[in-house]
Structure 1
Amino acid sequence: YPCFPTDLVSPVKSFLSILNSLAVRCPGKGCHEEVLLGKYCHHLSIHKEVEDKDGYVYVNKGGRPRQHLLSLTRRAQKHRLRELKLQVKAFAEKEEGGDVKSVCLTLFLLALRARNEHRQADELEAMMQGKGSGLSPAVCLAIRVNTFLSCSQYHKMYRTVKAIT
C-alpha cells in the first residue's frame, strides 16, 4: 500500500485504513463472500436480518438428530416446549388475565385456518363452545361398531356422552 504524506500525520488513521481495507472471507453458511474488514459488521448484520426473517433456527450441535415433536413422550414434549410455554404463560397473564388455555386454543385455531383446514378449525371451535363433535349418533355408533369399542372405551377416546345401550 502506498504511503502518502497525509497518512503520516496520524499513524493510527493510516493503520486503521489499511486494516479496514483487508479482505476477509465470510464464514456464514453458504456465503463465502470476500468482504472488506471495515464493512464486515454490516455484512454480518445482513445475515442476521435474513436469519431473523426465517424465524427460529435450531442449531443441532452434534449428537442424534431430533425426533419430531409428536413422536416424543409427554415428558420430552414438555421439556422441548418449556421456553415457548413460559412465553405463552407470560403473555396470557399480561394480556388475557392468565387464561393460558384460551391463548393456546386460539393459536391452534389460527394455525389450522392459515393452512386452510377450516373444517377441522370449525369442529374445534364447536368443541370449545361445548357443542360437541358434530357427528350424528348413527355415525358415532358406526365408528364404535367398526372399531370394536365398548361404550366406555368409545367415550374415553372421543369424550362423548356415554350411551346406555
Structure 2
Amino acid sequence: RYPCFPTDLVSPVKSFLSILNSLAVRCPGKGCHEEVLLGKYCHHLSIHKEVEDKDGYVYVNKGGRPRQHLLSLTRRAQKHRLRELKLQVKAFAEKEEGGDVKSVCLTLFLLALRARNEHRQADELEAMMQGKGSGLSPAVCLAIRVNTFLSCSQYHKMYRTVKAIT
C-alpha cells in the first residue's frame, strides 16, 4: 500500500549493531564495576591490560612440560623466549639512547651483576666495554694458549682478546 524505495530503508544490520553497541555492560575486572558501552568495551579492557603489564610480568605455565632454564636452551629458543623483552629494550634504546641497544643491554647486565654483589665480574665487564681488555697479562695469555694447544686465532675466538701477532 505504501510505496517503498531501497533508499528509504536503514540496513537492519546497521541498526542492530548501533543498538548492540549502545548497550551498557558492567566491567568484570577486579575492583572495577564501571558500566561501559559495549562498543567501547574493548578499549576499556585494553586500559586494564596496560595497567596489568605495568604491574609486572608473571608467567603462568598452563600444564605441559616445565620450562627449561633460559641458559640451557638453544640460541633459537632463547631468541624466541626473549622476543618480547628484546622488542621492549629496542624501543627504549631508540627512544632514550639513540638506538644503542648494546649499551643498554650491557648496562642492564652490569646492574644485575652489582645487585648480586658480583663486583669483580662487573669490573671486568666494564673494563672490556671501555676497551681495556680482559685483565690478563700477556704472559698469562700465552701460557693459557700454550697449555691448551690453541692457535692464536683459536685463543682469540675463545677468550675474545685482541689478536697477538706471533
Q: Tell me the secondary structure at the aligned position of residue 136 of structure 2.
A: coil
CA contact (8 A) 1:7 1:14 kept: no
Unpaired segments ≥5 residues, structure 2: none
Q: Using a 3 Å threshold, how does the CA distance of structure 1 residues 163 and 57 change in structure 2: closer, same or farther?
A: same
CA contact (8 A) 1:7 1:13 kept: no
CA contact (8 A) 1:25 1:34 kept: yes
The worse-fitting range, judged by mean Cα deviation, of 50-59 and 122-131 is 50-59
Q: Using a 3 Å threshold, how does the CA distance of structure 1 residues 59 and 27 change in structure 2: closer, same or farther?
A: farther
User: Residue deviations 1:85-125, cap 9 Å, x none?
Assistant: 01111111111111111110100000000011111111111
The alignment-based identity, stated in percent, is 100
Question: What residue in structure 1 maps to residue 41 of structure 2?
Answer: 40
CA contact (8 A) 1:151 1:162 kept: yes
Q: Using a 3 Å threshold, how does the CA distance of structure 1 residues 30 and 75 change in structure 2: closer, same or farther?
A: farther
Q: Using a 3 Å threshold, how does the CA distance of structure 1 residues 18 and 93 change in structure 2: closer, same or farther?
A: closer
Tell me by how many angstroms 1:56 deviates: 2.9
Q: Using a 3 Å threshold, how does the CA distance of structure 1 residues 64 and 158 change in structure 2: closer, same or farther?
A: same
Q: Tell me the secondary structure at the aligned position of residue 70 of structure 1.
A: helix
Tell me by how many angstroms 1:23 deviates: 28
Question: What residue in structure 2 maps to residue 104 of structure 1?
Answer: 105
Report the TM-score, using the length of structure 1 for normalisation.
Answer: 0.65
User: Residue deviations 1:26-83, cap 9 Å, x none?
Assistant: 9999999999999999999999999999953211111111111111111110100001
Q: Using a 3 Å threshold, how does the CA distance of structure 1 residues 59 and 30 change in structure 2: closer, same or farther?
A: farther
The worse-fitting range, judged by mean Cα deviation, of 57-66 and 79-88 is 57-66
The worse-fitting range, judged by mean Cα deviation, of 79-88 and 20-29 is 20-29
CA RMSD across the alignment: 9.3
Tell me by how many angstroms 1:158 deviates: 1.2
The worse-fitting range, judged by mean Cα deviation, of 54-63 and 127-136 is 54-63
Q: How many residues align?
A: 165
Tell me by how many angstroms 1:147 deviates: 2.3
Q: Using a 3 Å threshold, how does the CA distance of structure 1 residues 62 and 119 change in structure 2: closer, same or farther?
A: same
Tell me by how many angstroms 1:164 deviates: 3.4
Tell me by how many angstroms 1:20 deviates: 29
Q: Using a 3 Å threshold, how does the CA distance of structure 1 residues 6 and 80 change in structure 2: closer, same or farther?
A: closer
CA contact (8 A) 1:152 1:162 kept: yes
Q: List structure 1 segments (4+ residues) > 4 angstroms apart after TM superposition.
A: 1-55
Unpaired segments ≥5 residues, structure 1: none
Report the TM-score, using the length of structure 2 for normalisation.
Answer: 0.65
Q: Using a 3 Å threshold, how does the CA distance of structure 1 residues 3 and 30 change in structure 2: closer, same or farther?
A: farther
Q: Tell me the secondary structure at the aligned position of residue 35 of structure 1.
A: strand
Tell me by how many angstroms 1:143 deviates: 1.7
